[in-house]
Amino acid sequence: MFNRRALIGGSVAAATALALAACGSDEPSEPTETNGTVTVAATSVPHAQILQFVQDELAEDAGLTIEIEEFSDYLQINPSTDDGSTDANFFQHLPYLETYNADNGTDLVEVAPVHIEPLALYTNGTASVEDLPEGAQIAIPADPSNGGRALALLADAGLITLADGVDLTSATEADIADNPLGLEFVAVEAAQLPRTLQDVDAAVINGNYALEADLSPAEDAIASESADGNPYANYLVTTSANADNEDIQKLGELLQSNEVKQFILDTWSDGSVVPAS
């Protein structure tokens, strides 16, 4: 049986760790001298892969060197950029960044949107949304921005109805106006969501973690976000002090280049990763 208490406890612990690790400094950060080398914190799939393509194919001609620091725990990435351990990071969408800054007193800023990873609903055998049973347990991301995004996906799939006027980037269970199947929602730290599929009826999984688990929104999901007009583009992010850093701006331009867009389309032809524009 699904151990809801253990997963919720893990999510609370992760949130606590985030708050402790990422408390913003009272002093404004100082600009970093990058001297042609930019250190970027990133999760492995697809972010580090995209950065590696830029380093291998585009950076030399641009007079740039990219040092990629891969993190398995995404909760540690923003703190590494905020404290200057890395010059920039690449793993998050804007609603997550805005929530992070508000919760932690930080002043991290977006540089350039790069790609979208459609959020999708996966099951361990249920063939369609219509086949989900009454009282089904649905695992959703524990962080507020992705939790609201998951509820918006479920509403688009016709499983729930959200109250009129709700901000879909920050919706909570309290904003559910109608839940005809009596679905039960279980908040889980995002990286752990693929592992819950053995224990729940369905899970709404972030695109990068679905990729790591060999799940495709086109082939395996029973519901998926549309890429058209999607507000959840993943951004290159840095500190406000480094917002005008020439090397970081140059990296942002490379990440938005036609070459990178084509690399994304070729590498993830199933639509699990799509260019932001």
Give the pLDDT confidence of 87-112 residue by residue, as tens digits: 999 999 999 999 999 999 999 999 99
Distance CA 32, CA 53 (A): 24
Note whether 210 and 265 are same-domain residues: no
The 3-class secondary structure across 25-65, one letter per residue, is CCCCCCCCCCCCEEEEEECHHHHHHHHHHHHHHCCCCCCCE
pLDDT in the model for residue 69: 98
What the block records as the tokens of 239 is: 């500190």
Distance CA 56, CA 78 (A): 25
Residue 18 lies in a domain: no
CB 172 within 8 A of CB 144: yes
Note whether 220 and 139 are same-domain residues: yes
Note whether 203 and 252 are same-domain residues: no
- Nearest-CA neighbor of 80 among 65, 93, 72, 69? 69
Q: Which amino acid belongs to residue 243?
A: A
Give burial (CB, 10 Å; 0-12/13-18/19+) of 157. Answer: middle
Residue 23 lies in a domain: no
Note whether 114 and 58 are same-domain residues: yes
Note whether 44 and 114 are same-domain residues: yes
pLDDT in the model for residue 179: 98
CB 108 within 8 A of CB 80: no
Domain CATH number, residue 269: 3.40.190.10
Note whether 163 and 99 are same-domain residues: no
Distance CA 47, CA 234 (A): 9
pLDDT digits (tens, 9 = 90+) for 171-187: 999 999 999 999 999 99
CB 240 within 8 A of CB 107: yes
Note whether 192 and 145 are same-domain residues: yes
| Mean pLDDT computed over 164-172 | 88
Could you give the percent of the chain with pLDDT greater than 70? 90
pLDDT in the model for residue 27: 55
Distance CA 256, CA 260 (A): 7
Which residues lie closer than 8 Å to 98 by C-beta, 6 or more apart?
145
pLDDT digits (tens, 9 = 90+) for 4-56: 333 333 333 344 334 334 344 445 577 888 999 999 999 999 999 999 999 99
Q: Which amino acid belongs to residue 124?
A: N
- Write out the residue range of the structural domain in which residue 136 sits: 120-224
Long-range contacts of 261-268 (CB under 8 A, 24+ apart): 263/50, 263/53, 263/57, 264/46, 264/50, 264/115, 267/46, 267/49, 268/46, 268/211
pTM of the model: 0.82
Boundary of a domain, candidates 189, 207, 224: 224
Label the pairing between strands 108-116 and 234-239: antiparallel
Label the pairing between strands 65-70 and 37-42: parallel
Distance CA 47, CA 14 (A): 22
Number of domains in the chain: 2
Note whether 125 and 217 are same-domain residues: yes
| Mean pLDDT computed over 131-154 | 96
Note whether 165 and 99 are same-domain residues: no
Beta bridge partners of 202: 123, 138
Note whether 254 and 125 are same-domain residues: no
